[in-house]
Amino acid sequence: MSDLVYDVSKYVRDHPGGADVLIDVAGTDATTAYEEVGHSEDADGILKSYLIGTVKDAHEINRPKAVRLVQKSPESSKVAKGSSSTIGTLTMAAIPLAGGLALMLASDSHFTLPGALVKFGPLSRLSPRWLPAVHCPQGGFSNGFIAATLLSAAVGGVIGTQMSRFTQIESGFTKYPPHLKSKSVAKPNPHLARGWLEPKEYKSLPLLRKDTLSPNVFLFVFQLPNPADVIGIPIGQHVAIKASIDGTDVSRSYTPVSNNIDLGRLELVIKCYPDGLLTGKYLTNLEVGDKVLFRGPKGAMRYRKGLCKKIGMVAGGTGITPMFQLIRAICEDDTDTTEISLIYANRTEEDILLRKELDAFAKNYPKNLNIWYMLDQPPQKWAYGKGFVTQTLMASKLPGPSPDTKAMLCGPPGMVNASKKALVAMGFEAPGAVSKMTDQIFYF
């Protein structure tokens, strides 16, 4: 990239990282800055569209290796050395003490160590509990020396212990009593864990199960290599499927309805159109055991708890899959209080995907989820709405614009475009050409 020139002035407003990041490196070699961020293959594709030329006499940049220097603190060495030197001096001083005590004690016909210390002035203040009760009934220099040696060892130990308190540095191990860690330590978010997927490499998985949910709509369940494996996809992102169709590689992106809590499997709900290049000619004909190529995660959405207080969702058809992934993550997290209002549009009641699961979440978590279904052809005694998703409907069923509110859209292009215009008319900030998480209106 160091010899290529790009004009990204038209992309500044839509850059997910903000305009300042691009402005800071404008007119310079941005190779290192671009590579250190770890851009996706999608970003590489967008960048290519802004290529305008090459630099003459360009040279390759070799990034220097980082070197870490670990240096020992000189102060700690001095303290340790001083401590051992002081204690050693005290220990050596105890040796001549033994000789002196031996001469003194040899003249006594009967003595005890506590009693002998009374004669030794300054040492008489030592607590008797530190002294061995040694009796020597027959006096003599030999017996006196033995007793004095024992006495000197006891006294040296006491003095060394007392003096070590002045030379030791109080650390957490000596200053505080042992204790257990708090049980309220935050657990790592399982939805942010790396898993089986690779963002720039296609890998294959076998089809484990294929269930028909409605006409031309299937639940595909793929088996991960190990029972404890996870997909490795953040909430709100999607995977790419690639296949060779009539000699040409074709790829499409889909949002799983499973997540990292579902061990050992990857689940997708996909509508297979008869004339669809990938769905009609490939996915429809898949059989159990067939292997499919996957790559990911992809996408600008990376949901986290606290992203906002309220979310207004508008989905159509299979556009419910990314919404379902967010709904499930929010409802299954007891600490997430985000309020979701969903408008879900379909042609007929039979076309409503994942309705059983959606209704269960709405019933069990009424403070988190409220659903309003819309049908083009509703049955008799239909309890919800009929017709198109209009601005009036969104104003009555979705939260209004505010700094703590986001609107999310996914479905047929016509519905998404009409919904964006209606939301802007309601007061939401208009999104850019490329959707990013900082937008008030996010479309998948």
Would you name the residues annotated as active-site residues?
Answer: 238, 254-255, 410
Burial class (CB in 10 A: 0-12, 13-18, 19+), 437: middle
- Nearest-angstrom CA–CA distance, 356 and 430: 34
Instruction: Name the nearest CA neighbour of 358 among 373, 347, 346.
Output: 373
CA separation, residue 16 to residues 6, 28, 61, 255, 435 (Å):
17, 20, 26, 20, 8
- Nearest-angstrom CA–CA distance, 332 and 326: 10
Please name the residues in contact with 387: beta carbons below 8 A apart, sequence gap of 6 or more.
374, 376
Confirm whether residue 254 is marked as ligand binding.
yes
- Nearest-angstrom CA–CA distance, 228 and 318: 29
DSSP conformational letter for 135: B
Confirm whether residue 271 is marked as ligand binding.
yes
Residue 196 has, within 13 A of its CA and on its CB side, a CA count of: 24
Sign of torsion, CA 357 362 367 373? positive
- Nearest-angstrom CA–CA distance, 398 and 343: 8
Helix axes 141-167, 74-106, angle to 10 degrees: 160
- Nearest-angstrom CA–CA distance, 88 and 1: 66
- Nearest-angstrom CA–CA distance, 214 and 29: 53
Confirm whether residue 347 is marked as ligand binding.
no
- Nearest-angstrom CA–CA distance, 220 and 212: 9
Contact 229, 243 (CB under 8 A): no
Q: Is 391 left (phi over 0), alpha (psi -120 to 50) or beta?
A: alpha
Continuous H helices in 305-401: 320-332, 355-364, 391-397
Q: Which tokens hold the place of 419?
A: 């919904």
Q: Which tokens hold the place of 150?
A: 């024992």
Q: Which tokens hold the place of 226?
A: 């190990």
What residues form DSSP beta bridges with 441?
407
Instruction: Name the nearest CA neighbour of 319 among 433, 420, 412.
Output: 412
Confirm whether residue 338 is marked as ligand binding.
no
- Binding-site residue positions: 252, 254, 269, 271, 321
Q: Which residues are annotated as a binding site for FAD?
A: 252, 254, 269, 271, 321
